[in-house]
Structure 1
Amino acid sequence: MKERIISVDIFRGLTIALMILVNTPGTWEHVYPPLRHAEWHGYTPTDLVFPFFLFIVGTSIVFAYRNKEPNAATYRKISVRTLKLIGLGLFLGAFTISFPFFRDFSEIRFPGVLQRIGVVFFFAAILFLNANWKALLGICITILVGYWIWLGFVPFDGAAPTFDRAPNNWANYIDLQVFGSHMYKDDYDPEGLLSTLPSIASSLLGIFTGLVLISKRPRKEVIMLMLGIFMLVLGYLWDTAFPINKALWTSSFVLVTAGWANIVLALIYYLTDVKGLQFGSIFKYTGANAITVYFLSSFITKLFYSIEVADGMSLHGWLYQNIYVQSFLSGEMSSLLYGLTVTGFYLLLAWYMYRKKIFIKV
């Protein structure tokens, strides 16, 4: 196995752990507010998780492809990995435990987390191989500004467009026209088609941080910290004209989330790579098999929700009701403890895989 960057693996693994935690509460009726997504505009800590992963995808691209040539063999590897990610995402959306084990076509959701990761990885990797940092910066700015202009200023059937959850929102409208009923909600999808454009910018911003990490510059943690603060300030200023919104993946959302990602990664980098502290090793193990752990957690959670046990209750519901629901615990605490247990299981699984030198590349 090649030598890995400790802080990058820890950051990636921590992000996957948070993904699992926020996706597997005991019950969605009792969830602490920080572990919920924002209703529309604004953001919560939970809304940072997915953009953090796309950010670190960009950072990882730098380490994986800095010595690669932009040739047919490299493009083939990138394409194969992209198709694997999209395929795994579609499999999760289509699978059911009932024979013949796949949903009716009309019920399948086409967009999804793994699908977006695949698409973002593809374009970010191709751009990294063929453009220098100045060109990448220009592309990133073009995406963010162009997306703002499209959603905020291009007339919609002769009327003004909106950033609200409404039929005259360009992102929602295009998703509905392209995907129809194959979406997360009836009127929009948080991993929709148009909002994938700015999510590529999230990964490009991660590439810039990766370039800092492989550079010969001293005090890299300070550079990342300053980049993070700059992006936060710029994102909050833009929020006044283009609201921070995860469902739309607005340009202000891209900057704010990348700002926080830089700050968090700078802290982890300082503790591990600069000071040499043994910090967050359990997340390092998870980061080494990030996609595998995420896929398994999503697949097994789906099984737990689908398998019926006593009185028609799902296996998930039975475990939660009989083990975690206690009179001395609030509903939110019971729900959180269930999620922490599930997350802990996958962290231990990742530790075991790391110890046995099992590294599954997707």
Structure 2
Amino acid sequence: MKDRILSVDIFRGATIVLMILVNTPGTWSNVFPPLLHAEWHGYTPTDLVFPFFLFIVGTSIVFAYSNKTIDSSTYKKIVVRTLKLVGLGLFLGAFTVSFPFVKDFADIRFPGVLQRIGVVFFFAAVLFLNFRWKTLVGITLVLLVGYWLMMTLIPVNGMEPTLDRAPHNLANWLDVQIFGTHNYKADYDPEGFLSTIPSIASSLLGIFTGFILLSKQEKKATILFGLGGAMLLVGHFWDMVFPINKALWTSSFVLVTAGWANIFLALIHYFTDVKKIAFGSIFRYAGANAIVVYFLSSFISKLFYLIKVNADNSIHSWLFNTIYVQGFLSLELSSLLYGLSVVAFYCLLAYVLYKKKIFIKV
């Protein structure tokens, strides 16, 4: 694409690489704290990864659909892509290695990462195609403020609403009513129904960044950096009344993560697009087949956990305990080295696909 901006490709690829790293430690029992999600309120570097991807989905929408003729085929492509993403996510949730290779219906998780990406992409793309930027700003504010008011004012089963991990947390309660047993946990799902509303705002904020990158503005990196700083400031102030929380995808979480996304993207844009300093090519390769690389990593990781080498070990645990657990290494470092090896494999795969000009559209 002639309007393609290198920094966006690098940012997308780096996000996918980080998603794989935090999802595939050698053992979940021994992980360095920055590579784990926050227990509940607050955030760690790991909590930035998924919202970064939704953010860059919005930015990519601007590049994909700006200055193009929009007709029924455009909407058809959006719907088809949405269904593909949701279908792949449901497949990951339902698949098992024993015949008939599908879990019992009650054990299948309906929400998930790819499902959320699909739904967010659909709404963000449709909104982008139908509204100008000023209207999109208003929609974003309505989503964020409306979610805040719903979560803090609407009683649940006659009880005062709470933002704790509890049955009368509105998002948790609603997920149980809608999905029943098809949730990540009995009392919450990090990709649940209600929290999808503010996650759409994460992508809309990425759309505004796309507008800036495609504009004729000078010093785009400075603008993005300042915008990111403002979002961080507002998000942390909002945290005092609506805590930053990934599992609930709170409005303060949306602003803080979009703030960091703008800051990191501004830095990458400055060095690659402005100063023309060559770096991060491996991330660009990963970004070119981002969804495919993520799906394969998730599917193969699941196989490694499910397939047994012997009575005591799956492929995953056998590889980790045999190769990476060594007396001179801490278990945390061993766990990290396993994750980095997985990342290296998928970066190599992405490189081969890129060099062979194989780009799989999802």
Q: Deviations along 1:12-58, whole A, 9 cap, x unmatched? A: 00000000000000000000000000011000000000000000000
1:219-256 CA-partner distances (Å, limit 9, x unpaired): 00000000000000000000000000000000000000
1: distance between equivalents of 2:120 and 2:188? 19
Q: CA offsets, 1:55-91, max 9 Å, x none?
A: 0000000000112344211100000000000000000
| 1:141-196 Cα shifts (integer Å, max 9, x gaps) | 00000000000012223331111111111100100000010010011100000000
1:100, 1:171 → 2: CA distance?
Answer: 34
Determine the C-alpha separation between the residues in 2 that align with 1:4 and 1:90: 31
SS at match of 1:67: coil
Q: What letter is aligned with 1:34? A: P
Cα distance in 2 for residues equivalent to 1:234 and 1:96: 44
Q: Structure 1: 5+ residue runs without aligned partners?
A: none
1:137 match: 137
Q: Distance in 2 between matches of 1:20 and 1:297?
A: 7
Per the alignment, residue 97 of structure 1 pairs with 97
What SS does structure 1 have at the residue aligned with 2:311?
helix
2:82 matched residue in structure 1: 82
1:286-327: per-residue Cα shift (whole Å, max 9, x none)? 001000000000011011111111334100000000000000
Q: For residues 139 and 151 of structure 2, what CA distance do their matches in structure 1 show?
A: 18
Q: Using the alignment, how far apart are the partners of 2:206 and 2:77 within structure 1?
A: 21
- Please report how far the alpha carbon of residue 100 of structure 1 lies from its aligned counterpart in structure 2 after TM superposition: 1.2
2:52 — aligned with what?
A: 52
Aligned to 2:233: 233
Partner of 1:274: 274
- Equivalent in the alignment of 2:213: 213
- Tell me if the contact between 1:235 and 1:253 (Cα under 8 Å) persists in the aligned partners: yes
Whether the 8 Å contact between 1:238 and 1:252 is mirrored in structure 2 is yes
Aligned to 1:176: 176
Aligned partners of 1:184 and 1:156: how far apart in 2? 21
Letter paired with 2:98: S
Consecutive unaligned residues of structure 2, counting only runs of 5 or more, are none
1:119-134 alignment runs, 5 A limit: 119-134=119-134
Specify the SS of the correspondent of 1:308.
coil
1:326 correspondence with 2:326: yes
Give distance in 2, aligned partners of 1:89 and 1:150.
28
| Matched residue type, 2:21 | L
Give the 3-state SS of the residue equivalent to 1:192 in structure 2: coil
1:338 match: 338
Structure 1 ranges of 4+ moved more than 6 A: none
More displaced, 134-143 or 307-316? Answer: 307-316
1:242 corresponds in structure 2 to 242
Structure 1 residues 3 and 211 mapped into 2: Cα distance closer, same or farther (>3 Å)? closer
Tell me which amino acid in the other structure corresponds to 1:265: L
Other structure's SS at 1:337 match: helix
**Correspondences of 1:235-314 after superposition (within 5 Å):** 235-314=235-314
Between 1:345-354 and 1:159-168, the stretch displaced more is 159-168
Q: CA deviation at 1:353?
A: 0.4
Separation in 2, partners of 1:165, 1:311: 36
Deviations 1:196-236 (CA, angstroms, capped at 9, x unpaired): 00000000000000000000000000000000000000000
Aligned residue for 2:357, secondary structure, equals coil
Read off the aligned partner of 2:170 and give its amino acid letter. W
- Match for residue 6 of structure 1? 6
Choose 112-121 or 64-73, whichever is displaced more: 64-73
Q: Which amino acid counterpart does residue 6 of structure 2 have in structure 1?
A: I
Rounded Cα–Cα distance in structure 2 between residues aligned with 1:357 and 1:342: 23
How many Å separate the matches in 2 of 1:20 and 1:187?
Answer: 26
The structural deviation recorded for 1:3 is 6.2
- The residue aligned with 1:203 is 203
The aligned runs of 1:102-113 (5 Å cut-off) are: 102-113=102-113
CA distance in 2 between partners of 1:167 and 1:69 (Å): 48
2:174–2:194 contact (8 Å) kept in structure 1:
yes
Match of 2:147 in 1: 147
Cα distance between partner residues in 2 of 1:70 and 1:192? 31
Write the letter of the residue equivalent to 2:142. T
TM-score of the pair, normalised by structure 1? 0.99
Name the TM-score, length of structure 2 as normaliser.
Answer: 0.99
